[in-house]
Structures are given as C-alpha cells and as structure tokens.
A and B are shown apart, each in its own frame.
Chain A
Amino acid sequence: MDPLMPPPVRRISLDAPPTVVEPPANGNGAGAGAGRARAGAEPSPHAVERMRCEGVTIAYGPKIAVNRVDLSIRQGEVLALIGPSGCGKTTLLRSLNRLTELTPSAARGGRIALDGEDLDAIEVTELRTRVSMVFQQPNPFPMSVFDNVAYALREGASRRPRKPALAEPVERALRRAGLWDEVKDNLEHPALRLSGGQQQRLCIARSLAAQPEVLLMDEPCSALDPVSTTTIERLILELREQIAVVIVTHNLQQAQRVADRVAFMYLGELVEQGTSDEIFRAPRAPRTRDYVGGAFG
C-alpha cells in the first residue's frame, strides 16, 4: 500500500451508542496460556489502518531504544505491545504522539504516519489531541474530578466554554470510562483523593473527553487492583470499534484478554507481530516462543 495515500477512514463518532462486546463467561478463562476468554476473538474485518510506523528508530543519546520497527495500528482492533522490561515498548508508544520529544536527548529516525500524513507535518498539539495517551501511573491533575475531565475541552476551545456547556461532554466521558456512577454525586471531589483505580479511569475519561482517534495506553493496569483492571479491560474492548487502541503491557494474560493483534519486542527490535492467536498459540520466532512460554521475562 502506498504510504502516501491516506487510507479510507471510517470515523465513528464517540457519541454513537457503544457496540459492546460482552465477554461470555466460559470456563476456560483461568490460568496462564488458557484460551481466549472472550467472544470476538477474530480481528474485526472492518479494521482500518490509522497509524503506520516505517523503520522507526529511537535513540537516547548513543543508546538505541527502538530499532527499525515497522508497525501498523488499526482502528477496530486492539494492538498490544509485549516484551520484557527495557525492550523499548514504552519508548515506541511515546513516539506515536511525539511525547519522546519532551526528553531532550531522544532522537527519532524513520517515518510515522497518521492517516498517511507524516507525524512531523502535523502540529504537535493537534497531533496529541488526536493521539491521546494514558500513563502507567495514574496522573490526575490536582483539581476536581470535573475540572480534570473538562481540562482538555477547556484548553482545546478557542473561547473558554461555560461550565453548563461542559457538563454533558464531561458526563459522557465519565460514563464511557465507567466512572460516572461513582463520582456523579460529587463532581467537585478532589481527583487526588480518589482510589488508584478510579484515578486511572479518570485519566482515561480525561483522554476520551477530547475525542481522540488513537488511544495509547502505557501499562494502564500495572498499578491497579484486579477489579479495576477488569473494568478497564472491558472499557478497552468497548472502545476498539471507535478508537484505535494500542496498549503496552507486561502482563501476557492481559494481552491475551484484550488484544486482537500482538507485537512482541525484544531489545529494541520488533521480533514478531501477528494476531493474538498466532503469537500465543503458534509463535514463529524462537524468542517469542520462549517469552510467551515463560522462559524469560
């Protein structure tokens, strides 16, 4: 496919009713390496490529963190980046909305495109509203719940919107993140007083409020309890039809539960990518087999 030609984009508004894929409760969902515990295991036939990495190399000074990675990120499916610590997953993820540029020593080579348009050609603030990021540690701002969610809306507007005008989009974002029922009685509650899981869902709501097209998640559940993790994983499955989701995870079971496609990285290189079933059931590369099989990690 010609990388300069933008692919036909199927934009689904976030306002549309979510097409929920509820995982059926079948019995084989427990334990490592067990079968995929949800319906919709097949990648969506409607998946559309939104972002494309070609020969992406990222270096911190002399140290190469990501080495010539080719990757396609598609709307309609969830892409999981897996691999041991320090393999460059997070760096690759951060380069997708140019957050690596906040690190002075980082340099990038290769080409990343969003809808066929080079990332460097897109104004960085616009890029980051379209490609939003949720971090490993929940980082809600020291404001009320409402102000956190409204933050991007207020900053994105050319004229400061009035609070009543924000109430509806804020509620929608909180509902989508599955936090509404817990905070609706007191939206002025300080965000930093929420529990860890609530904080992370608030951060997701904050990202969703700006209606991003791609959502990057950097180990969003690593600091969370199992219940919050389940909530967020369900949320990811709901989102994938409307937003291209990339999730970095240490947790292989989580990758199996949520991902349609999996990319395995090792020492900065993309060793193998494929559908979830390919990677977990029939990995081609020996290193993938070792990692997925638990030989190292």
Chain B
Amino acid sequence: MTIDWWTLGLQTVNVLILLWLLARFLFRPVAKIIAERQAAAHAALDEAEAAKVAAETARAEAEAAKQAVLSERAEKIAEVRKDAEVEKQRLMAELQAELDKARVQAKEDLARQSKAQEEALSEQAGVLAGDIAERLLARLPKEARIAGFIDGLVEAVGALPESTRTGIGLNGPVPLRAAQMPTEAEIAQLRDGLGKILGRAVEIEVTEAPELIAGLELDTATAIVRNHFRADLDRITAEVRKHD
C-alpha cells in the first residue's frame, strides 16, 4: 500500500480550487437570487398587505360615511317626527281645550236649561196647585169664604205693632178687600172685632176681589194685613220654589 503524496497534494489543491469555483459561480449567485426572490416575494406580500389595509381603511371610511348619512337621516326623521308630535300635541291640546270648553258650556247650558225647565215646572206645579186649591176651595160654601177669616184678620191686626195699629182707620174708612161681598152680619162682626182690637170704631169700605179665593185683606195706608188663600198659596208656591 503506497500513497502517492504528490497526487494527494494535487487533489487537495484541486478540491480547494473547485470549492472556490463553485462557491464563486454556483452557490453564491444562486443563493443570492433565492434571497432576492424571497425579498421580492416579501415586498410583494407587504405591498399586497398594505393594499389590503388601504382597501380596508377605505371600506371602513365608506362605511363610516354611510353610517353618518344614515344617522343624519335618522336624526332628521326623528326631528321631523318630533315636530309633528309637538304639533299634534298642540292641536290635540287645542282640540281638547275646545272640547272641554264646549263640554263645559254644554253642561252649563244643560244645567241652565234644566234649571229653567225645573223652574217652569215648579211654577207650573205651583200654579197647578193653586188652581187645584182654588177649585177645591170653590166647593166651600160662600159664607165660609168670609166668616172663617174674620177672627184671623182681627188677630193679625192685633199682632201689629202699636204705632201701626193706631194709624188704621184715622183717615177715612178702612179699605177691605174680600173674596165676595160679605153679608151685613159679617161686616158688623168685622167692625166689632176691629173696634175691640183698636179700641175705637172704624168704618169699613168693602170691595170685592174674587182673586183672593177666600179670605180678607185689610189694606190701609200704613199696613196691609192679608188673611186669604191667595196669600197662603203664593207663600206656599214661593216656598216650593225656594226648595228647588
């Protein structure tokens, strides 16, 4: 086994030269071009990424603009709706007020009307009652229409104050209204009674007044003494009206 040292040395040098050659002409340029392509690919990717980002941004902007328009529209719609609502409220309130006023007025009218009606009814009822009483009293005997009231009249005159009583019959005869012409006896009875009360004799001037229905009315200058059905009926009617 011999080793040719010259060959070994030459081969070592050869391989080293080949190493340099290949490194110079094969590996370095190929690796460089690979790196360049990678860089280019990265650049392209970055560019694409940037473009994507830009597109995304633009889209977001457009979206925002759209949103702004939409919200503006919604705002305007809301505003208009609010105005309309306010207007509606106002109109409603006006209408309500008018209605209320009309209703109040109607109520008042109604009340007034019913009151008037009631008054009319009451009056009618009073008149009717008067008429009924009048008719009923008309059935009484004619004598009873005077005789029964003489004592009452005399008592009423007696209830008058002193100053008023003294004035009765001083200036001529005492005017007396009666439901019908009293008889002589009744006149005498009246004169006696009055004379007893007043302490002096008085003259009586009798006039007929059928509207009194029954009873007497002493009509002097200082005092009027009523003692007849008409006065009673009138009082009762007034009482009835007052109650309503």
A pairs with B? no
Q: Which residues of A contact B (CB under 8 A)?
A: none
Q: Which residues of B contact A (CB under 8 A)?
A: none
